[in-house]
Structures are given as C-alpha cells and as structure tokens.
Amino acid sequence: MVSTQIEARGIHDDHVLQAMRAVLRHRFMPESQSAHAYEDRPLPIGYDQTISQPYIVALMTQLAGVTTGDTVLEVGTGSGYQAAVLAEMGVEVFSVEIIEPLSKRARAVLSELGYASKVQVRHGDGYAGWPEHAPFDGIIVTAAADKIPPPLLQQLKPGGKLVIPVGAEHGYQELLLVEVDESGEISKRSILPVRFVPLTGDR
C-alpha cells in the first residue's frame, strides 16, 4: 500500500511513510470491510461516515508538517486511523468526534493498539476546537466545512498549519493548507479537489 499508493504519488516525508507502514488500517474498520483495508479508497465505518483513503491521510499528515513532541488537534476522529498515524509519529493528538458511538469505538481501538498515551478522544462538536489544550502546532479536519471555522484559526500556534477540506457537501470541495505566520498573517493554498463527508454540528 505505502510503496504503490502513497510513496509513488509523491509523499516523501520519511516519518509519515514509516507511520503509514506501522499502523494497521484493518483494525480501524468493520470486519465486513477488512478485505479492502489496504486499497486506496475510503470505506464505510457506519453512521454515514468513512475512513479516508490512505493517500489522503498521508497527504494531510505531510501537509501539517508536524513532528515528534508537537500537539495536533484533529476534528473528526471517525475510525481513529488518522489519529493513530499521528501518534505513531510521536505527536500528541487531541481528537474530537461528534458521533458518540464512533468516539467510543475509536477510543477503544486506539487503546487496544497502544496509542492511549498519545491520543485523547472527546465526544463533542469539533467546530469549536478544544480550547483547553490550545494552541496547537497543527490542526487536521477530516470533514468538509463550508468555510474555515474561526475558532480553529484562533487555536493555531503562530507558524502552525491547518489542513482542511472546504466546500459544499454535494458540490466542489478543495483541500486547503492554511498557515498563520509569526505576525498573525493568514495565508491559504489550495492543494487538490477532494470529497469528504460534511462537518456537522450546531454551527
């Protein structure tokens, strides 16, 4: 999977590649889908949600530019797979999931696989981030928002990066890399068209 679907498509960060090799993707999905676990496509995990395709997970992780000892906010825990990849890199992860059964299942799987010390999972609305643990070195959002949530920008460290899909649920979506420099200036760069489930919640 890593050699043919990820590295061959331009993912070059060794830490990301090593983490993708180490994390067992089949453990983060229903048994009915496990035969497809290492195919490069999203797969259903219940509750109208999906586990992202491996290439997109690797790309978003590389774009976030985080390293050992950094703290990352993840909005949309889903299966827990993205959080595990970050934890495998030595990153401390604070992950928020709005669907309570998914948050419980992800927490259990992450604990079984030994990531509990690196990943905290909370049931809640990720639009508001997790201000108690801010600011973050990086923020990864795994559901599409119609616009960038202001609370997330406020919780990003100067020099930090926010990776987020933005766009309509059934229309055009693009993956954005948002950076905040030391003076607070915000820059945005479109990376590629994507298709994500929508960010849900009160906002």
The single residue of 32, 34, 52, 103 carrying the catalytic annotation is: 52
HSE-up (13 A, CA, CB side) for residue 169: 6
Per-residue model confidence (pLDDT) at position 157: 94
- In-domain check, residue 198: no
Asked if 105 and 177 count as a contact pair (C-beta separation under 8 A), the reply is no
CATH classification of the domain holding 151: 3.40.50.150
- In-domain check, residue 111: yes
Query: Over the chain, what is the mean pLDDT?
Result: 94
For range 69-77, the mean pLDDT: 97
Give catalytic status of residue 52 as yes or no. yes
Task: Spell out the residues 6+ positions from residue 192 whose beta carbon is closer than 8 angstroms to its own.
Answer: 174, 175
| Confidence tier at 199 by pLDDT (50, 70, 90) | confident
Checking DSSP bridges between strand 71-75 and strand 136-141, what pairing results, if any? parallel
Taking the CA atoms of residue 154, residue 158, residue 161 and residue 162 in that order, the dihedral angle to the nearest 10 degrees is 0
Per-residue model confidence (pLDDT) at position 98: 96
Report the C-alpha gap between 184 and 135 in whole angstroms. Answer: 13
Per-residue model confidence (pLDDT) at position 182: 84
**Domains held by the chain: number:** 1
- In-domain check, residue 6: yes
- In-domain check, residue 36: yes
- In-domain check, residue 202: no
- In-domain check, residue 79: yes
Q: What pTM was estimated for this model as a whole?
A: 0.94
Per-residue model confidence (pLDDT) at position 110: 98
- In-domain check, residue 144: yes
pLDDT in tens, 122-181: 999 999 999 999 999 999 999 999 999 999 999 999 999 999 999 977 778 999 999 988
For range 88-93, the mean pLDDT: 97
Per-residue model confidence (pLDDT) at position 202: 59
- In-domain check, residue 201: no
* pLDDT of 197 above 70: yes
For range 63-69, the mean pLDDT: 96
* pLDDT of 31 above 60: yes
Domain encompassing residue 140: 2-193
Please report, rounded to a whole number, the percentage of residues in the chain having pLDDT higher than 90: 89
